[in-house]
Amino acid sequence: MSRANNIATRVARRLQTKIRTHEWQVNWKPLGVEDESADVAGKARGRRLILIEIELRRGAPVANVAKIWKWKVMGQLKGSFVLFQVFSKFYASHRKHREDAEFIGKKMEQENSKIRYVPLSMRYSPRKMGREGGRYMLLAGDRLAQRVWQNWRKIDKNR
């Protein structure tokens, strides 16, 4: 399992105890999509879908925003959703990658009132060719779940 998948699994498990209204899945795909997935998704009947994309060292995180926007435009995502795009410390020294993703995320949000885009920072610095596990990675997953939960409470309260 990759580091991103390990963190995603940890986040999904933690969110299952924090946002109990939703059912949490790792590598979630909307109906009709075969080759792409969101890192984590929380689904609940009659509630806003929660999507989480975890960016550790990806060269073009804007591709994840484009993928999800495409799903919405093509009708593969129904209803409203919030996309949390989470950036590791790697993007502190690769700001342009993050800025491009945030620009497109905000454009997506402006185009459709049923979409919320929330960029978050993660206090985790993935090393190139680093180990897949480790306590720092698990701690980062726990902290990320906490941040998503805190932001979700604000969004859900104002829906």
pLDDT in tens, 37-53: 999 999 999 899 999 99
Angle at 47 between CA 52 and CA 11, to 5 degrees: 30
pLDDT in tens, 77-88: 999 999 999 999
Mean pLDDT (whole number) for 10-34: 95
- Alpha helices by DSSP H, listed for 19-115, are 62-73, 95-111
The first and second tokens of residue 42, run together, are 């929380």
Residue with tokens 């991103």: 4
The first and second tokens of residue 159, run together, are 């829906």
**Looking at the predicted structure, is the pLDDT value of residue 73 above 60?**
yes
pLDDT category of residue 57 using cuts at 50, 70 and 90? confident
Across-strand partners of 81? Answer: 49, 115
Of the candidates 156, 139, 158, the residue with the CA atom closest to the CA atom of residue 44: 156
Question: Domains in the chain, start-ordered, CATH in brackets?
Answer: 3-157 (3.40.1350)
pLDDT in tens, 101-149: 999 999 999 999 999 999 999 988 887 655 555 778 888 999 999 999 9
